[in-house]
Amino acid sequence: MPVMASLSAKLTSLCSLPLPLCLHPWKTYSGPFRSQSTPNHPERLGFQKSTPPLHTCNFPGVFCSPSLESSLPNNNLMDQIPPQMVDCRKLEILNLGNNKFSGEVPSKLSSLIRLRVLDISSNKLSGNLSFLKHFPNLENLCIADNLFTGKIPASIRSFRNLRFLNFSGNQFLEGSVPSMKRLEYSSSDVPKRYILAENSSTNSTRSNNKTSAQPPSTAKSAEAPSPTTQPHKHKKDKRKKILGWILGFLAGAFAGSISGFIFSLLFKLMLAVVRGAGKDTGPAIFSPLIKKDDLAFLEKEDGLASLELIGSGGCGQVYKAELPGGNGKMIAIKKIIQPPKDAAELTEEDSKSMNKKMRQIRSEINTVGQIRHRNLLPLLAHVSRPDCHYLVYEFMKNGSLQDILNAVAEGTKELDWLTRHRIVVGVAAGLEYLHMSHSPRIIHRDLKPANILLDDDMEARIADFGLAKAMPDAQTHITTSNVAGTVGYIAPEYHQTLKFTDKCDIYSFGVILGVLVMGKLPSDDFFQNRNEIGMVKWMRTVMTSENPQQAIDQKLMGNGFEEQMLLVLKLAYFCTLDNPKSGPIVRM
């Protein structure tokens, strides 16, 4: 296999072993969908370009994976929703809104009892609502703007966690929506209420009975009258022309004279917004799984007083909280402090610190605030206060990979190879999405065990996008004024040239592969007492020796996966080559 081969080929080579590293953990299904458009990346729609990998489901053209989310809105997908969807039992979020699906919804859809969000709005779906039988965990239901007929089923009352409901735009539905506590409606026969909707790539707004990105206005809208047009006069009026020239000249001079004042005013307004001195507009919500009322406690001065502190770092502290409502959903709140001073009182150090924190907040909002992937930690909301900012995330019960590795080193926890392998696959899938499927590409720049969180199933979630940068497709690299990242995980070429590419993330990924197989961090004292200073150099030396197995963590020896672990170390070797052009790319 040539050195330039993609990481995909290397990952696929592991499929002959008893563990499905080639499985696409980020895809939920691929199947009989047709699209009127021809996207640049068919993988983003869930299509397979080749034969499905191992461990497929038992129906043609479709396979299931541990994915919790399938979001395919705004893709012009046609035909019926495939009934094989019901085999994806772990699915929690299904968003097929704003496509061109037609026909009836599979009646067995209610077998997806883990669903929390179901959005099939703005299609051409028909038939009755018999598929709304039993969704015990459903929180957000939107079937607006379809052609459904029949009565609204009373079974909706059994959806005990339902908080958002939109039946609007189905003119053939009969009856009223069953009354339920804590439910917000939007339909043709009940008052409209503000309903949170996940941001789409088009950022469009819906009108009439549809949900809107803004709360409905209480004032009646009125069309603006068309401007009246004066009849054209063929007779020239020299006096009026001269008067028009004079007025135009005076208007231009006046505009120029006040431009400096306007610029100064805008600058002051921007500074006030950055410092949080402007009027509080409330939380910015980025997920349908949370609403503004849930975060009302953060508006109080002592909002975090009773919460458990679970971590702290250079940017601030992280707290754990339970959302109101009694459903037991936990969130993590990162508090980022900013100096409550006027610009004149800010020292140079304070100013640099504030600018850095604001850049990191913007980076988080522009990345995981806008995109969704099962292996990225989503930003749920942002709350701005005069003295601080709150970033709200899903809570990851198992903490970070760094925490787990520290506990393993202390002997208080175990981390078997199957779990380490699952973490590797998750990180690779998240990077593939950032580098290959998202446009523009997103470079994380600080990939390390502390920024890889683990959910209840020990699935990896890449977190902390404060240093992330978007790289336009036309660019080959971005030059910075200083190096960002963590020592031991920074690519040498970035450190030397201040130019970073997606290969810098690949280098960091290679170091993480080595850490998981060898059971040692780059900062481990073990590497300070060797001729080859540094984990990467030591790993290269051992991998080219006659006994490469000595690099494997002794806790993992004898588990029957030695050959597979050596293959992963070879991947780590390729990812950390001195010449990044010879390294692989992440493609699952």
Between helix 562-575 and helix 417-432 the angle, nearest 10°, is 30
| pLDDT at residue number 36 | 44
Q: Is the pLDDT higher at 372 or at 172?
A: 372
Q: Exposed, middle or buried, 396 (CB in 10 Å: 0-12/13-18/19+)?
A: buried
Correct CATH for 401-582 of 1.10.510.10, 3.40.640.10, 1.10.1740.110, 2.60.40.10: 1.10.510.10
Cα–Cα distance for residue pair 228/231, rounded to 1 Å: 10
How confident is the model over 167-174, as a mean pLDDT? 83
d(CA 501, CA 476): 7
CATH 3.80.10.10 domain position(s) in the chain? 29-64+74-186
**Of 136, 126, 214, 216, whose CA–CA distance to 171 is shortest?**
126
H helices within 291-443, ranges in order?
A: 348-366, 401-410, 417-432
pLDDT, tens digit, for every residue of 545-559?
999 999 999 999 999
pLDDT-derived band at 192 (thresholds 50, 70, 90) equals: very low
Question: Residue 145 in contact with residue 124, Cβ under 8 Å?
Answer: no
Pair of tokens at residue 149? 């007929």
Condensed to tens digits (0 to 9), the pLDDT of residues 360-403 reads: 888 888 888 888 899 999 999 999 888 889 999 999 999 999 99
What's the pLDDT band for 42 if we cut at 50, 70, 90? Answer: very low
CA dist., res. 25 & res. 66, Å (int): 6
The encoded tokens of residue 92 equal: 């929690």
In this prediction, what percent of the chain has a pLDDT beyond 90?
30
* Residue ranges matching CATH 1.10.510.10 in the chain: 401-582
For residue 278, name the pLDDT band (cuts at 50, 70, 90). very low
Contact residues for 399 (Cβ-Cβ < 8 A; gap 6+)? 310, 453, 454
Phi, psi dihedral angles at 87 (to 5 degrees): -80, -10
What φ, ψ does residue 484 adopt, rounded to 5°?
A: -115, 145
Backbone angles phi, psi at 107, to 5 degrees: -65, -25
Q: Which of 416, 460, 571, 418 is nearest to 509 (CA)?
A: 571
- 116-164 pLDDT, tens digit per residue, is 899 999 998 988 898 888 888 888 899 999 988 888 888 888 887 888 8
The CA distances from residue 35 to 47, 50, 69, 80, 417, in Å, are: 10, 18, 20, 12, 40
Q: Which of 232-246, 329-343, 386-400 has the highest mean pLDDT?
A: 386-400
pLDDT on residue 381: 93
pLDDT band per the 50, 70, 90 thresholds, residue 439 = confident
Under CATH, what is the fold of the domain 29-64+74-186? 3.80.10
Would you say 494 and 485 are in contact if contact means Cβ atoms under 8 Å apart?
yes
Selected residue with higher pLDDT from 441 and 355: 441
Task: Return the H-helix or E-strand segment holding 505.
Answer: helix 502-518
Distance separating alpha carbons of residues 306 and 390, to the nearest angstrom: 16
pLDDT top residue among 267 and 252 = 252
Residues forming beta bridges with residue 400, ordered by sequence position: 453
The pair of three-digit structure tokens given for residue 212, joined into one six-digit string = 């809107």
List every span in the chain annotated with CATH 3.30.200.20. 284-394
- Ranges of beta strands (E only) in 241-347 are 284-285, 308-312, 316-322, 330-337
Beta bridge partners of 308: 320
Q: Please tell me the class of the 284-394 domain.
A: alpha beta
HEC secondary structure over 214-257: CCCCCCCCCCCCCCCCCCCCCCCCHHHHHHHHHHHHHHHHHHHH
C-alpha–C-alpha distance, residues 313 and 295, integer Å:
23
Q: Write the CA distances from 120 to 80, 124, 563, integer angstroms.
A: 12, 10, 46
> Catalytic site residue 145?
no
ω into 440 cis (within 30 of 0):
yes
pLDDT digits (tens, 9 = 90+) for 524-542: 888 877 776 789 999 999 9
Query: Catalytic: which of 87, 145, 294, 446?
Result: 446
Alpha-carbon span 120 to 72, nearest angstrom: 10
Number of helices and strands in the chain (H, E): 9, 25
User: What integer pLDDT is reported at residue 194 of this predicted model?
Assistant: 28
Neighbouring residues of 483: CB distance < 8 A, sequence distance ≥ 6: 490, 494, 495, 498
* pLDDT tens figures, 476-533: 888 888 888 899 999 998 888 888 889 999 999 999 999 999 999 999 888 877 776 7
